Structure 1
């Protein structure tokens, strides 16, 4: 699938992405800056000391190639290192700098997060550089950062400062930023309940090698009204998942059964934040919609639908607190509050690679549970209506979060067997 051409003006791209970063709690009102260099060599950049929570396109500054500044504000005080990155790396067309809490945690202990904590992050982030501390806004800081980018890095941990990332466009930079912060959060949360385990390079390469278009193409595709309605539901839930921090732009698969064993599923290679109805892929009679690449996980969604007729929707995603359990081999006991047990009962985990087509997948496919964790990869949530499945995901993530946060207070005391039996009688019979 060819990459979408982004015809949004740089001003609009920047305001959209800074809004996402702010709303997700990955920068403060005054912190962080974003820039784009256009084909003329002009740099569009966020302004200095303007509220990131209400930034408008008219607030974005243009620094022309000749140094002329156009706009009603001053450009970001960190503009010098943005400029230095573009000069050092002509392939970089957008830069994001921010102070997201988890990456700042690594910054202040002077460590680099290991992106082999989850399957796709190494591919999305690439190797991570490290820039020693220099005075913010100084030419010296620009030199230090540019030197790291010259080594080929696109993601840098800034000592006692935060992070800076580059990309071939702003979407590429944001995916890298979001994935790296997710890795940092997962490692931090996992470290509170156990010891994080990491994938080998060979395992991450195996994930990337999975074929995305092995199904034959349909010759003709029809789009009746009920099919289009399901596309809209999928897009709505995917964007809501991103907004709620339950999915990141570079990873996450959502599907809905359409009729019989035919279904609709999200594509690969499309940022989840930007998913549109036409991006969703129809799978019918074992064939895929022509010209589209469905998720790598399409085959396992197909097998779940075939073997579990009561399941009509599936969400396969990464959320940080659930993945804290998924990277530490810790058991997630959902006997926390009545709602969690009623909805989920038990959440088991399967080994990494169980979700690959050539391996034994019976633990995932046969008698598929409401929630299942794949170690160092994802969580699979299943249900009837898609909104119900999303609710199960939220409940599972909230349960995991409560346990992680409560760990510092003492050992969890679960609902006992007698109380569980009362719940079973009242709500499940």
Structure 2
């Protein structure tokens, strides 16, 4: 399992994050750069003109406080604006610049994505700055970017270029980067099938006010072999979800029933990419493992398990194509693909806020479907084995992707009711 990257050397942290960005298709072989400023004001940065898909720690360049360059490569050509950001914002300790397709799309139409599209994005990204075009690698570019950061922005769209984001450490910068690109993708995909709807600031405040329910701690916790096995299984699915773009750093909860109504669940405020078996929280007799804070959705998972003995695993996440239906209130008609309907049956959606504890919709906890979309918030997937539940998530996201892409070709034509009944009979649904 992955370790907490902030405990690693700056060069190792940079390699970990640039690898994630490249493998997720959010930058190219030659594009993008990452830096970290250490406690001695030395800046560690990716090199110029070296393949981002095969960087090694020894490739990372260190630019000392006095300007001395240590390393076998030249620092990134964009190093000037990294340095400029650190000079105007001492609270920022890491910077990411890349050319992810959705954010580049915003940059070339001279717009910024509205982070009110999903519940947590405004807290993580804040308002988005905008830097006018200047020659890449120039001091002028550094000045306009630094001016935006000086205004208090932590994420900026660079006109006809890409994006640049900062954070108190590299984990925070990447979480901000990934969340903003997710917002941009979701808005773009949603615009292909309908009109995106945005949350009000009051709705977001209501979401943020839902602090994790403080449930009592156990005095002692036992870890028998079957419990440990489930921890590992959860971590593997979280990693797989992140790698495939089905979950992002800032959002996603996975749980598995353990014994009776006791279960294991992912924690709150832990980066999903870096989650380890030690982070997983045991919930037993409605008490939490000592010293750990489970997901703020723990109560929801608990209620689903109590009322649905056939459900043994739950994934609550955000994936871009499914959420494109959630932000546009467009019906995800899985009857367009027989295999999708066999796996998922019909996929309902519920309005934002119906998942809040104070006014929970009974359809979420009592009449659970395999896939349920909460508008502008998340997708809830339930199933028996965790791998099966993950498969449902994959099938649902692939189906949503096909519908979004296919919409440009013409109206989607679903199978008719008679054909659905044939499927029910053949597959005993």
Matched, 1:325 2:314: no
Q: Quick one: structure 1 residues 129 and 304, their matched pair in 2 at CA, closer, same or farther if it must change by over 3 Å?
A: same
Correspondence for 2:372: 372
Instruction: Answer with 226-235 or 283-292: which moved more.
Output: 283-292
Superposition deviation, residue 363 in structure 1: 1.6
**Residues 91-129 of structure 1: per-residue CA shift (max 9 Å, x gap):** 000000001000011101111100000000000101111
Superposition deviation, residue 422 in structure 1: 1.6
Matched, 1:99 2:99: yes
| SS at structure 2 position matched to 1:176 | helix
Aligned ranges for residues 151-300 of structure 1 at < 5 Å?
Answer: 151-300=151-300
Q: Quick one: distance in 2 between partners of 1:78 and 1:263?
A: 48
Q: Quick one: distance in 2 between partners of 1:347 and 1:55?
A: 42
Superposition deviation, residue 427 in structure 1: 1.1
Correspondence for 1:127: 127
**Under a length normalisation based on structure 2, what TM-score does the superposition of the two structures give?**
0.98
Q: Quick one: distance in 2 between partners of 1:18 and 1:138?
A: 23
Superposition deviation, residue 205 in structure 1: 1.3
Q: Quick one: distance in 1 between partners of 2:360 and 2:94?
A: 42
Correspondence for 2:363: 363
Q: Quick one: distance in 1 between partners of 2:361 and 2:220?
A: 32
Q: Quick one: distance in 1 between partners of 2:291 and 2:153?
A: 33
Matched, 1:84 2:87: no
Correspondence for 1:28: 28
| SS at structure 2 position matched to 1:259 | coil
**Under a length normalisation based on structure 1, what TM-score does the superposition of the two structures give?**
0.98
Matched, 1:65 2:81: no
**Residues 50-71 of structure 1: per-residue CA shift (max 9 Å, x gap):** 1001111111000011100011
Superposition deviation, residue 322 in structure 1: 0.2
Q: Check whether the contact 1:61–1:75 (CA below 8 A) recurs between aligned residues.
A: yes
Superposition deviation, residue 213 in structure 1: 4.1
Superposition deviation, residue 181 in structure 1: 0.3
Q: Check whether the contact 1:190–1:325 (CA below 8 A) recurs between aligned residues.
A: yes
Q: Check whether the contact 1:248–1:272 (CA below 8 A) recurs between aligned residues.
A: yes
Q: Quick one: distance in 1 between partners of 2:241 and 2:39?
A: 34
Superposition deviation, residue 88 in structure 1: 0.5
What is the alpha-carbon root mean square deviation over aligned residues? 1.1
Q: Quick one: distance in 2 between partners of 1:216 and 1:55?
A: 46
Superposition deviation, residue 405 in structure 1: 0.1
Q: Quick one: distance in 2 between partners of 1:86 and 1:192?
A: 39
Matched, 1:338 2:338: yes
| SS at structure 2 position matched to 1:254 | strand
Q: Check whether the contact 1:41–1:65 (CA below 8 A) recurs between aligned residues.
A: yes
Q: Quick one: distance in 2 between partners of 1:227 and 1:260?
A: 13
Q: Quick one: distance in 2 between partners of 1:185 and 1:428?
A: 37
Q: Check whether the contact 1:43–1:63 (CA below 8 A) recurs between aligned residues.
A: yes
Instruction: Answer with 419-428 or 282-291: which moved more.
Output: 419-428
| SS at structure 1 position matched to 2:44 | strand
Q: Check whether the contact 1:213–1:293 (CA below 8 A) recurs between aligned residues.
A: no
How many residues are aligned here? 427
Q: Quick one: distance in 1 between partners of 2:15 and 2:336?
A: 40
**Residues 300-353 of structure 1: per-residue CA shift (max 9 Å, x gap):** 000000000000000000000000000000000001222200011100000111
Correspondence for 1:407: 407
Q: Check whether the contact 1:113–1:183 (CA below 8 A) recurs between aligned residues.
A: yes
Q: Check whether the contact 1:262–1:283 (CA below 8 A) recurs between aligned residues.
A: yes
Superposition deviation, residue 6 in structure 1: 2.5
Q: Quick one: distance in 2 between partners of 1:173 and 1:138?
A: 23
Q: Quick one: distance in 1 between partners of 2:17 and 2:117?
A: 25
| SS at structure 1 position matched to 2:198 | coil
Q: Quick one: distance in 1 between partners of 2:390 and 2:348?
A: 18
Q: Quick one: distance in 1 between partners of 2:250 and 2:230?
A: 22
